[in-house]
A and B are shown apart, each in its own frame.
Chain A
Amino acid sequence: MTDTKKTPTPKKSKTPRTPMPEQPPMVRAANFLEVTLGYTGELAALEASRCLQCKTPLCRKGCPVEIDIPGFIGRLKAGDRDGAYRVLRQTNSLPAVCGRVCPQEVQCEGSCILGKKGEPVAIGRLERYVADSFAAENGCMQLTGETTCALPREIKVACIGSGPSSLTVAGYLSALGVKVTVFEALHELGGVLIYGIPEFRLPKDVVRREVDAMRALGVEFKTNWVGGKTILVQELLDQGFDAVFVGVGAGLPRFMDIPGESLIGVYSANEYLTRVNLGRAYAFPEYDTPVFRGKQVAVVGGGNVAMDSARTALRLGAERVTIVYRRTKGEMPARREELEHALEEGVKLEILANPLRYNGDKDRRLVSVTLERQKLGEPDASGRRSPEPTGETFDLPIDTAVVAIGTRPNPILLEATPELKLSKRGYIEVNPETGETSIPGVYAGGDIVTGSATVISAMGAGRRAAQSIIRKFVGEDAVQ
């Protein structure tokens, strides 16, 4: 109650929410360039002027890394773009990434007071503007050597994996002067930001820039190091790392265990996206990694990964891309914006349908999928109404299927580290307050703890772990 008293009465903003410039749907569906083009300085100033600068901002509470949102927008309003960037970087190591891929509608913008009567401030778009324009003009040079506290001694931390959780740990700790080394298994840095999220939604140059900013802060990156294979957790501790953060991400793709899933033309979303994103298969044969450019494509699943896969298939030249989902549009876990973008580009939906089997020709190439019509029954544990089979089946002719129904824990590091206590679902168990695992000094966060989740929740976990590392080795006063 006190909160609402302190904040201005919700009122409809006079200025409407500033639209985001975008490539037109039919143009962008044929290229891999970024869909949204970003605000100009004028658009950003206009949008920033809508912010009410609440004394007790609800938006900040909605942010998993607690960005001082009125703080950065206030500086932007005052024309202090560099100051706005510094506010962002205080709690967010990857602002250019978050400005693009966070589900703001259920976080900061979902809590914005303007949204009660009208449309919320476009916080994500402003965040992206500040990060992009700062990087464009300043590069990362300004960040070098900006340490803010005196460490009692040299503290060394190792991060396994270079996805959003590890990068957050690295960004947070290196800004405080901690020596961080990041070990990545693949040949390119960024984890899911590189192999998972497509170029048209998150350009790889943006990720590279964020990584370069951390390098400027002294973070050391090593590629081709597989945690649990090339190096063991215990070896890192023995080598003098004070703490180890495990952020190895989601792992083995799930399949439905139905007939025909090994036919040629059936991909996991991970394989499909990794070929296209990490391998740049969209530019084959300039790049060597191939991918099958299907004409009739079905994508199974209703999350963001399914949307990314469907939109990728379109851009690879598919004539028809159908998202097959066993519930209805309303139950899809994907962000609204992603679903809308996909539909605008021409992706079809086949809702209340579930694959029963994939059918192949004599060469074991996929030719169709047999789907069973579903109907919605009672809500399940997730609160969504659960699909029930009706017995009615039909065939959808396809030459490519992309299975995007989630992942299971990757076994490599877990098998190599039997001392790590796991949850019932097989993920790493951590103290929810500190992120510390059953091995003292070893922390974990992101998808290897929660199962498939969002970039920002992984970053929140990274921040919590980084804060506990500082609390343990430096003291409460140094925690930001």
Chain B
Amino acid sequence: MPYRILKRKDLIPGQTILMVVDAPMIAAKSRPGNFVILRVSEKGERVPLTIADADAAAGTITIVFLVVGKTTAQLATLREGEDILDVCGPLGRATHIEKCGSVICVGGGTGIAAMHHIAKGHHQMGNRVVAVIGARNKDLLLFCDELGSFCPEVLIATDDGSRGHKGFVTELLKARLEEDKDIAEVVAVGPVPMMEAVAGVTKPFGVKTTVSLNSIMVDGIGMCGACRCTVGGKVRFACVDGPEFDGHAVDFQELRMRLGQFRAEEKVSLEKFRAES
């Protein structure tokens, strides 16, 4: 069954790409928070990508990825009408979404896309969603319009102040938590330092904080333990126990170290790919 790319769009040219992929079986079961494992070539690696959106009626899922390594660089070369070799999912536990009032969803960089699916889920449940998104500059912001279509507020922070608040999402988040005591939950998806900083900000407020971990995975189906992380002193597997965990309990330092364990090999792979293509 081919996983055909029906739509492909450069959200940030050469850097962040959106693909709408024909995968009816996955789309039918996909819930916010789920991810897929994909493989681009016969000698390729299995990599996890969060599902940014799903349309069960159209039989499609949307993925958004940043070109960081060989697999994503190779995926970026695929055009509309071409097929992704393997797409497996939907994997992981879906986000726990219940009617709880007001929720703040924080997204950083490519994580905004994954956060979008969760924010949409909260909105559909009837929660009031405040989106807080950030990037280095205005050209690197994603999904502003999509989030704006259902979130009453989309707060924006850029490092250079080219749009919205000049500074970090955590500053916007802190200000909002100080003035709004009714926030039931904060969800954060993005780079590890951002998620860690968000958890640091929300802790004094005692607000439930959920983060989505982007651990290294091999099978993604609970078989290998590559994605293990320490949460509340206990070892958990991001692929079957997560990928979302209590942000106040995650050992972020360990996560950062484990994410970097194959940096040298990742560089070799990417350079080889660039040299050959």
Q: Which A residues are within 8 Å of any B CB, using their own CB?
A: 185-187, 195, 222-226, 229-231, 250-253, 255, 257, 261-262, 264, 267-268, 270-271, 274-275, 278-280, 284-290, 292, 363-364, 410-412
Contact = CB atoms under 8 A, between A and B. Distances in A.
Contacts of A255: 225, 228, 235
A72 B93 CA distance: 50
10 contacts: A186-B88, A271-B225, A275-B218, A288-B45, A289-B45, A289-B46, A292-B262, A410-B221, A410-B223, A412-B222
Nearest to B39: A187
A286 B43 contact: yes
A274 B224 contact: yes
B25 interface: yes
Nearest to A273: B224
A411 B235 contact: no
Nearest to B92: A229
Interface stretch (B97-105, B151-159, B253-261): B253-261
A267 B225 CA distance: 8
A264 B222 contact: no
Q: Most A CB atoms within 10 A — which of B29, B91, B218, B266?
A: B218
Contacts of B266: 290
Contact of B222 (A231, A252, A292): A252
Contacts of B90: 229-230
Interface residues of B, number: 44
A479 to B, nearest CB: 34
B224 A270 contact: yes
A230 B257 contact: no
Interface in B66-96: 70-71, 85-91
Given A230-B26, A255-B235, A292 B261 contact: yes
A459 B262 CA distance: 37
A226 B221 contact: yes
A230 B25 contact: yes
B162 interface: no
B221 A412 contact: yes
A292 B258 CA distance: 13
Given A187-B46, A253-B225, A289-B45, 17 more contacts: A185-B219, A187-B85, A224-B1, A226-B88, A251-B222, A268-B225, A271-B218, A271-B224, A274-B219, A278-B219, A279-B218, A284-B265, A287-B43, A287-B45, A288-B70, A289-B46, A292-B261
A423 B271 CA distance: 50
Nearest to B251: A262
A187 B228 contact: no
B262 A290 contact: yes
A224 B223 CA distance: 15
Q: Most A CB atoms within 10 A — which of B85, B224, B269?
A: B224
Contact of A285 (B29, B39, B272): B272
B230 interface: yes
A224 to B, nearest CB: 4
Interface of B: 1, 25-26, 29, 39, 41, 43-46, 70-71, 85-91, 218-219, 221-226, 228-230, 235, 237, 240, 253-254, 257-258, 261-262, 265-266, 268-269, 272
Given A270-B225, A285-B269, A412-B222, A262 B230 contact: yes
A261 B224 CA distance: 14
Nearest to A290: B265
A410 B219 CA distance: 12
Nearest to A228: B221
Contacts of A270: 223-225
A229 B90 CA distance: 6
Contacts of B45: 279, 287-290
B40 to A, nearest CB: 9
Nearest to A268: B225
Contact of A223 (B86, B221, B223, B229): B86
B240 A288 contact: no
A186 B219 contact: yes
A290 B216 CA distance: 12
Contact of B269 (A250, A290, A363): A290
B268 A285 contact: yes
Contacts of A261: 235
A264 B253 CA distance: 12
B51 to A, nearest CB: 12
Given A230-B25, A268-B225, A270-B225, A285 B86 contact: no
Contacts of A195: 219, 223
A285 B44 CA distance: 10
A230 B223 CA distance: 17
Contact of B226 (A185, A271, A288, A412): A271
A148 B39 CA distance: 40
Contact of B86 (A187, A257, A274, A287): A187
A-B complex: 5 closest residue pairs judged by Cβ atoms: A290-B265, A288-B45, A271-B224, A268-B225, A224-B88
Contacts of B88: 185-187, 224, 226, 230
A226 B87 CA distance: 11
A224 B224 contact: no
A274 B218 contact: yes
Nearest to B239: A412
A349 to B, nearest CB: 25
A271 B46 CA distance: 13
Contacts of B218: 271, 274-275, 278-279, 289
B177 to A, nearest CB: 31
A267 B226 CA distance: 7
